[in-house]
Structure 1
Amino acid sequence: MSIKTILITGATSGIGLALFEKYVALGHQVIACGRDEKKLFLLSAKAYKTYLFDLNDAQSITQQLDDVPQLDRVILNAGDCRYIDDAKHFDGQLFADIISTNLSSLGWLLQFTLPKINDGGQVVFISSSATILPFPRSEAYGASKAGMDYLADSLRLDLAEQNISVTLVHPGFVKTALTDKNDFEMPFLITSDEAASRIIVGVDKRKNYLHFPKRLTLLLKLLSFLPSSVWQKIISRKHNA
């Protein structure tokens, strides 16, 4: 196994932390990125490098990643999830914040990391199975992740000639600090460790698309083929259960 230099955003918690720990254990040089200074410091003993920045602060990203080393993999995992609780009284600020955190920030991250990715390298986008089928209250989160999906699929076309592959990941419900806040049923919930293991296997195989657990994602894909009047009732009932 060749040692790779891997940059992970959102490395201080959830899936990002699980990926960090697993890649370090495999002997890779892992660069941890996050906004929590204390948590990032705790990773510094194991990390190849650490970068402290807020996704909504372009200047901070610019200053931190200006000296990023050559990379083999970039895993764009960091993000936020908040819900529109009253659609009629739409929260424009919340919507803008989530779009900024989950989507707009990717432009700055790619600006500084793509030029440093080695021939044969990879970019991994951690999106969400929420883009397979719309969920109630998810106007902001779902829109941001749908934008990420399009970005990943489009970027794959343009990076092919550079011999850089792009992997889009659609996890289902994963137990993290973010999902702990959810007040609705989360079927087929898996741990961050399980999610990280599946991502690592798929990325090593250079797959274009990963989705898991398939008990959930295939069910959502199946529902999406039903008449809208049918799947809308099912999704609304499950979400509000």
Structure 2
Amino acid sequence: MRIMITGATSGIGRALAESYAKAGHHILACGRSQQKLDDLVKQYPNITPLCFDLTQYQQYPVIDKVDWPLDLLIFNAGDCEYIDDALHFDAKRFERVININLISVAYGLQSWLHLVRPGGRLVMVSSSAEMLALPRAEAYGTSKAALTYLAKVLSIDLAQHEIEVSCVHPGFVDTPLTERNTFAMPMLMSSEQAADKIIAGVAKGKRDIRFPSVFIFLMRCLQLLPFSIWRRLARRINR
């Protein structure tokens, strides 16, 4: 298969690139760090690096469909910044998170979705955070909830083009992103474990890939609570 992965230089993206490369697939690995991309290529000659910044929308690389008809297009890159003082809302911080987690995906779709062949698949890495209103997650949660909605609509509209869509909702995964968190992260998984779950879900043709199962079950139970009750619980968590 020919696979394009954004955010391929660290975390889940790197684990996906390495796992697919080990299996003999051809990878277009996207990232901002040329050094990290070079390191990947040294280990796996079937990885082709693309170094660019996803927030620089006009600088996205032009890819020839003849050379790179894609079987999988995986939008994995993202960031998380928390809104620490809702009363003095930080619009610039909100904008940064929305830009990388959502707007860059839109520009990526515009640039590369046409490369996906009939029978191929689009994969979007969202988050289990979209399931609940979480303290301080005004930016991150909003971006991931919107990404999930986008994936569902695309699943409908791309069916006529024989392109399937999978949306991934991980729990806590040990990545450079989550290393910045200062709170407890229950059922933390490694990037490699998360990549294995995604690869298995994609291979089975799942449209909704959620893990770990126990964590997702607990999140679903909390979803069933009236919002007034969840709001009280969330305020206690926030304290």
TM-score range for the pair, normalised by the shorter chain length: over 0.9
| Residue 58 of structure 2: aligned partner | 59
Q: Provide the secondary structure at the position in 1 that maps to 2:87.
A: coil
> How far has the Cα of 1:55 moved from its partner?
1.2
| Matched letter for residue 176 of structure 1 | T
| Residue 23 of structure 2: aligned partner | 26
State the Cα deviation string for residues 39-73 of structure 1 (Å, max 9, x = none).
11111232432111111101221xx1344621100
| Residue 44 of structure 1: aligned partner | 41
TM-score, normalization by structure 2: 0.95
Q: 1:178 to 1:239 in 2, by over 3 A?
A: farther
Are 1:221 and 2:220 counterparts? Answer: yes
* CA RMSD between the two structures: 1.3
| Matched letter for residue 218 of structure 1 | F
User: What is the number of residues matched between the two proteins?
Assistant: 235
State the Cα deviation string for residues 156-178 of structure 1 (Å, max 9, x = none).
10110111100001000001011
Preserved CA contact (<8 Å) 1:185 1:238: no
Q: 1:238 to 1:194 in 2, by over 3 A?
A: farther
State the Cα deviation string for residues 78-130 of structure 1 (Å, max 9, x = none).
01011000000000000011111110011111112111111100000000000
Preserved CA contact (<8 Å) 2:79 2:97: yes
| Matched letter for residue 91 of structure 1 | D
Distance 1:146 1:228 in 2: 17
Q: What are the ranges of 5 or more consecutive residues in structure 1 without an aligned counterpart?
A: none
| Residue 121 of structure 2: aligned partner | 122
- Which of 2, 11, 15 pairs up with 2:12? 15
Residues 77-116 of structure 1 mapped to structure 2, 5 A cutoff:
77-116=76-115
> How far has the Cα of 1:239 moved from its partner?
5.2
Distance 1:5 1:101 in 2: 24
| Matched letter for residue 78 of structure 1 | A
TM-score, normalization by structure 1: 0.94
| Residue 185 of structure 2: aligned partner | 186
Preserved CA contact (<8 Å) 1:6 1:29: yes
Identical aligned residues as a percent: 47
| Matched letter for residue 3 of structure 2 | I
Distance 2:84 2:21 in 1: 40
| Residue 205 of structure 1: aligned partner | 204
| Matched letter for residue 187 of structure 2 | F
| Residue 195 of structure 2: aligned partner | 196
